Amino acid sequence: MEYRERTDEGKAPMPMPMLASACPGWVCYAEKAQADMLPLLSAARSSQGIMGALVKTWWGGRVGLKPDEIYHVTAMPCYDKKLEASRSDFYSAIYSTREVDCVLTTGELDLLLSDLGFDPLSPVAGEDIPADTDVDAVFGSPWPELLTHQGSSSGSYLGTLLRQLADSHPNPTRIITREIRGSTDNVEYLLEDALTGEVIFKGAKCYGFRNLQNLVRKVGKETGTSRKSGNKLSLAIAARRRKARTGAGEVNTPTTDGSDAETTGRDEKKLDFVEVMACPGGCVNGGGQMKPVTKVQREELEVDEEGFERPMADEGVDEGMRWSTKEWVAKVEVIYWGGLPTPPPSPTLPAQHLHKEETIDSRRYEEADRLAEEVVRDACGDNEGKRWEFLRTRFRKIEGDVLQGGVTHDAVKW
Ligand code: SF4
């Protein structure tokens, strides 16, 4: 919806490309070092921000609890989500409470469960039901325990936008992906009209700080927001490096309809949207995620593309270890996409919402959209101001290493 607002020709032009803002690592960097980029950041709340509004405002209202009578804990992939939860937009001065009271990383949750005597690896009844089972037949419900989706395991903002743009385009479409310098963390996605070849949309996935810094240079060049002379120099250097790499780095992958990917006009198209994530590999590789326990000799350590040593040294988690190995991240991705449903089963859908001629996936998407709208209407009615506060947030330039109230990042203890 926000993308539609930005590209609506009937309205005053808004800055583009739109940049995803669900990653607090990226937001923190932009607010402190790239203030020119802030108007490009999507105002949509992150998933944690949305849950904060849902739990304390919507659900609390339904069960007769005030926001300060609920203690809301989230399990997140990184420590930066704690910083996000402490932002002023997510604090209610009326009730003196935060929308998210406590953020635990998955690694902390694992430690907590172990400390309390739980075995996180012990089996749960029904967990061996295959993920592709017809859940209608098993549970009498078209809902999986977790709603599956297309796109990435880091919020799938780009995937959702591509799906919606393709669905609303009058002609058939195809998607062309292009890895920049052979990196799966830096990929362009072009949505083309399959009949005319017109590029309807150009998006990108940009994960990891190195790619992110290149993105800032590229977007600064496209939008003319790189005002400092130092940036001009960086741009010139980046351009020379790009030229030197020409022909050796960009890899076109097959189109989604199997047609020839070689047409003109793709390079000229400016970016419309970028899914920006600070961690290489995205949230499955977040700094707070559970880490593999391996025995590795010091001499076997490599320096990854972010300049960190990996894999871990010795037994357990190495304090200096920030990212997991690519192999471990690939395993986590497999579990993310093919994970088993988690009992207890979801409630059965009301019969009037079942349309047997549709596929189970399309019903899930439709039903999810319908329920989401119902919840927002329930919480905000038709009040546009309330809807904005419920679903969106603001970003501000931060001077120096100072958080609100004069607290520095270094002084923050979790
Ligand atoms: S990409 Fe990393 S820093 Fe950003 S939200 Fe995901 S885990 Fe956190």
Read out DSSP for 222-279? HHT---SHHHHHHHHHHHHHHHHHTTTS-EEPPPTTS-----SSTTTSPP-EEEEESS
Distance 195 CA to ligand 1 centre (A): 38
Distance 321 CA to ligand 1 centre (A): 16
Pairwise CA distance, residues 182 & 253, whole Å: 11
Pairwise CA distance, residues 335 & 330, whole Å: 9
Residue that has been written with the tokens 């967990």 in this structure: 127
DSSP H/E element including 360: helix 360-380
- The DSSP code for 353 is G
**Do 321 and 302 contact (CB within 8 A), yes or no?**
no
Pairwise CA distance, residues 17 & 213, whole Å: 16
Identify the pLDDT of residue 248. 41
Q: Give me the residue spans of the domains in the chain.
A: 23-149+340-411, 157-277, 282-332
189, HSE (Cβ side, Cα atoms, 13 Å): 26
Max CA separation in the chain (angstroms): 64
- Helix, strand, coil distribution of the chain in percent, nearest 5: 40, 15, 45
Identify the pLDDT of residue 226. 58
Is the confidence at residue 14, as pLDDT, over 80?
A: yes
pLDDT tens-digit map of 283-325: 999 999 987 765 554 555 566 665 655 554 443 444 345 677 8
Could you give the residue ranges of the DSSP H alpha helices within 54-151?
60-63, 80-85, 106-115, 135-139
Identify the pLDDT of residue 340. 56
Tokens of 362: 């399309």
* pLDDT confidence tier of residue 407, bands split at 50, 70 and 90: very low
Identify the pLDDT of residue 116. 94
Distance 283 CA to ligand 1 centre (A): 5
77 lines ligand 1 (CB under 6 A): yes
CB proximity list for 137: less than 8 A, separation 6 or greater: none
281 lines ligand 1 (CB under 6 A): no
Distance 192 CA to ligand 1 centre (A): 30
CB proximity list for 140: less than 8 A, separation 6 or greater: 348
Q: Please name the residue whose Cα sits nearest to atom 8 of ligand 1.
A: 78
Pairwise CA distance, residues 23 & 196, whole Å: 36
DSSP state string for 33-68: H-GGGGGGB--BPPHHHHHHHIIIIIIHHHHT--GG
**Do 212 and 26 contact (CB within 8 A), yes or no?**
yes
272 lines ligand 1 (CB under 6 A): no
379 lines ligand 1 (CB under 6 A): no
Residue that has been written with the tokens 């385009």 in this structure: 169
**Across 31-47, average pLDDT:** 94
**Across 108-117, average pLDDT:** 92
CA 400, 406, 408 angle in degrees (round to 5)? Answer: 55
More confident residue, 259 or 61: 61
Which residue of 26, 78, 206, 289 sits with most ligand 1 atoms within 8 Å of its CB, as the best mutation to test the pocket?
Answer: 78
Is the confidence at residue 255, as pLDDT, over 80?
A: no
* pLDDT confidence tier of residue 386, bands split at 50, 70 and 90: very high
More confident residue, 354 or 273: 273
- 207 CA closest ligand 1 atom index: 1
155 lines ligand 1 (CB under 6 A): no
Pairwise CA distance, residues 80 & 23, whole Å: 8
Beta-sheet strands, E only, within 94-235: 97-98, 102-105, 173-179, 186-193, 199-207
pLDDT tens-digit map of 123-143: 777 666 655 555 455 444 555
C-alpha 269, offset from chain centre: 24
What is the value of pTM for the model shown?
Answer: 0.77
208 lines ligand 1 (CB under 6 A): no
Pairwise CA distance, residues 402 & 397, whole Å: 11
